[in-house]
Structure 1
């Protein structure tokens, strides 16, 4: 036992049981096993994870990470590969939506550049793997912390405290732990909301994702795994991310269901036949946010506590999983060298590893939203010309697909499919 910390071995406490936090916990325990204690604290651990019907696009690099962690096999049969993608740009009232850009959905070795999975399936699989690996799952929150030299005392919401080498704040965009650490937050609203829902349609989507750029914001149709029915048929489903001007959203969601379905059809189109809502539409205000620092003394920010971006490229969750892969690798390598996982030089490596990637992705999504949520005719002509040029340049299209897939030799080992 260390006299300085009062711990038999290093302990890492993760405040927040979302997908990024669970992935980090599992990666650390799989890599270091009995050499580390990993404690996850979140009141939401009391809930049934299968109740979360949201859907996420898991990029190829993140899928490789889940495979390296040994959990992809548990959800692969419920994951829908995105086989191709179509991008259009039009006004809502236009009778025809011309296609300006198409992408085949494959990267190296005919691997789909993304899969659609439900949050409930992925969360449940991660939770089971964390329990089996020895992660200490506690259904209570973290109220605060106090750094005491070589440790931080993590104060639990229901009383008591834990001595830790490192506290990971994965407690969302309104992170209390980030605020307590005095880390600044740069942000601005988009005056848009994202409406999300699962849609049922008559015809098969054939694995195609569609992004309609409309003046109020992008309208994305993302394919979900068809559900087999008792009569041998399939229930065809897609997830939508409907970006709308914030002032229009209350009236839309409060409208009669048939009126809302008409508005959906105007944006979705009828190429997949008759539509119906499988889940009730929910709206979330959209904004940009990034922490001035991703670390403080014995504290690291993870996921939405570190950054929030526009969903136009579907990269929010993937950025959080990249955080988890980077932090797990840095902590694992440090501990194998006998270093303190919460030491300043270790955390500085994490800051350097993530800052450029997050800044670049934030700037890209912010710029794309400002460019495409714009109905000015000269802007539309320029962007449509640009989309058309990209469509005619196979090398550039391959570059964009690899970027969307997150595939790079510079990525952390887990994102390359390699064990820590």
Structure 2
């Protein structure tokens, strides 16, 4: 069913699945469900015509890119991505380790893309899909699960209330949703003590290789340099909060000298036009991420450190798995809004989440340690990785989200 635009008196309509949040996770889920034949209502608080201002850059894994192709996003996205064929990882004082796509027989390790390009591609795909009812400038005000399914009250900025009877509501907003608090979800939050600085570089990039990501790990934090399709690059620096405070208080020329030093580049010419953007990293988890008729996925459910875009690729694996499980449930005529079904879905995803969370939380701690024993263990580990192709292949598969 295609719903009429929001106007006139209050209405109640039946809907299959309602998704709150039209970011990269919610939109991908909506497109996957629509391609599978489900009717979807996608609710987004951002109004039409307001651009997404986000200068972050992500690396989409090869598996994520394949799925975006299946849900109709890749064609609109491919011209704005930079294929990544290798990743160079180093620690000051150690020889670098190169990970190559050819080692695991893939055409690429992934694709670097900026958040704005990603948002535009998803918006175009969503607007082109007739099975998706896209409600912009609207919010879910209330969920009522007193009877089977969920009664969803949606309030637009203009117009009147719309009530939908949904079989399942998926919360896929990019941050903690007020819906979770009103419904009594158990939310565990912890300040990681870390910040991420995002710096778009556009001058003096002689050290950038177009198809290579550079990751530098050390006591000053984790640096990831992601190349762009037009010769530019984005630096993401994950570091302690007090260290971020000190860096941002420095004059611009000292900031440039420090970045050049950490990258091992000549400081001459390195420049950026916009001020660094800071994100304080507050980790949170919704446990369990479901109630009867409600499922929470993406960053709304679990926020992790932004190392190698692990969180984004993990969320897309959640969405892809959810589409497959919903198709099976529909074919078997199973109530996919029941607690039992949602428990089963989450049980199947929990191991992947634990693996990524452990990786992204422990790696910064390992490399920020100045303990001599820790440094010796790191250097011994890097030597083993350089000398053992099988170990590199295992690390690559792990990072790409493959089951080992």
Counterpart position of 2:19: 14
Secondary structure, aligned partner of 1:339 = coil
User: In the comparison of the two structures, how many residue pairs are matched?
Assistant: 386
Verify the 8 A CA contact 1:202 1:273 in the aligned structure 2.
Answer: no
Alignment of 1:314-329 (within 5 A): 314-329=309-324
Aligned-pair CA distance for 1:117:
0.9
Matched, 1:117 2:132: no
User: Which one of 126, 142, 155 corresponds to residue 130 of structure 1?
Assistant: 126
TM-score by length of 1: 0.85
User: Which one of 357, 369, 377 corresponds to residue 362 of structure 1?
Assistant: 357
Secondary structure, aligned partner of 1:382 = helix
Verify the 8 A CA contact 1:113 1:402 in the aligned structure 2.
Answer: no
Counterpart position of 2:227: 223
Distance 1:98 1:45, change over 3 A: farther
Per-residue CA deviations over 1:120-148 (Å, capped at 9, x if unaligned) read: 21221122212221211112122231113
The separation in 2 between residues aligned to 1:131 and 1:211, in whole angstroms, is 37
Aligned-pair CA distance for 1:163:
1.8
Counterpart position of 1:153: 151
Structure 1, unmatched stretches of 5+, are 91-96, 227-235, 411-420
Verify the 8 A CA contact 2:94 2:379 in the aligned structure 1.
Answer: no
Matched, 1:267 2:270: no
User: Which one of 86, 89, 93 corresponds to residue 88 of structure 2?
Assistant: 86
Secondary structure, aligned partner of 2:307 = helix
Verify the 8 A CA contact 2:224 2:308 in the aligned structure 1.
Answer: no
The separation in 1 between residues aligned to 2:384 and 2:104, in whole angstroms, is 23
Counterpart position of 1:209: 213
Counterpart position of 1:196: 198
Matched, 1:29 2:34: yes
Per-residue CA deviations over 1:353-372 (Å, capped at 9, x if unaligned) read: 21111012111221112111
Counterpart position of 1:416: none
Aligned-pair CA distance for 1:313:
3.8
Counterpart position of 2:140: 142
Per-residue CA deviations over 1:272-314 (Å, capped at 9, x if unaligned) read: 9732214431111123322211211100011011111122343
Matched, 1:242 2:246: no
Verify the 8 A CA contact 1:107 1:405 in the aligned structure 2.
Answer: no
Counterpart position of 1:176: 178
Verify the 8 A CA contact 1:169 1:300 in the aligned structure 2.
Answer: yes
Per-residue CA deviations over 1:81-136 (Å, capped at 9, x if unaligned) read: 1121111213xxxxxx5324221134654321111011221221122212221211
TM-score by length of 2: 0.89
Q: Return the structure number with greater relative CO, CA threshold 8 A, min gap 6.
A: 1
Aligned-pair CA distance for 1:271:
6.4
Alignment of 1:248-397 (within 5 A): 248-270=243-265, 274-397=269-392
Secondary structure, aligned partner of 1:322 = helix
Verify the 8 A CA contact 1:178 1:305 in the aligned structure 2.
Answer: no
Counterpart position of 2:8: none
Per-residue CA deviations over 1:178-225 (Å, capped at 9, x if unaligned) read: 223322223322211000121113435231111111213211111111
Verify the 8 A CA contact 2:196 2:281 in the aligned structure 1.
Answer: yes
Aligned-pair CA distance for 1:254:
4.0
The separation in 1 between residues aligned to 2:29 and 2:268, in whole angstroms, is 41
The separation in 2 between residues aligned to 1:327 and 1:282, in whole angstroms, is 33
Verify the 8 A CA contact 1:330 1:346 in the aligned structure 2.
Answer: no
Counterpart position of 1:229: none
Structure 2, unmatched stretches of 5+, are 2-11
Counterpart position of 2:6: none
Verify the 8 A CA contact 1:185 1:290 in the aligned structure 2.
Answer: yes
Aligned-pair CA distance for 1:44:
1.9
Verify the 8 A CA contact 2:142 2:154 in the aligned structure 1.
Answer: yes
CA RMSD in angstroms comes to: 2.3
The separation in 2 between residues aligned to 1:50 and 1:278, in whole angstroms, is 19
Verify the 8 A CA contact 1:331 1:346 in the aligned structure 2.
Answer: no
The separation in 2 between residues aligned to 1:360 and 1:45, in whole angstroms, is 37
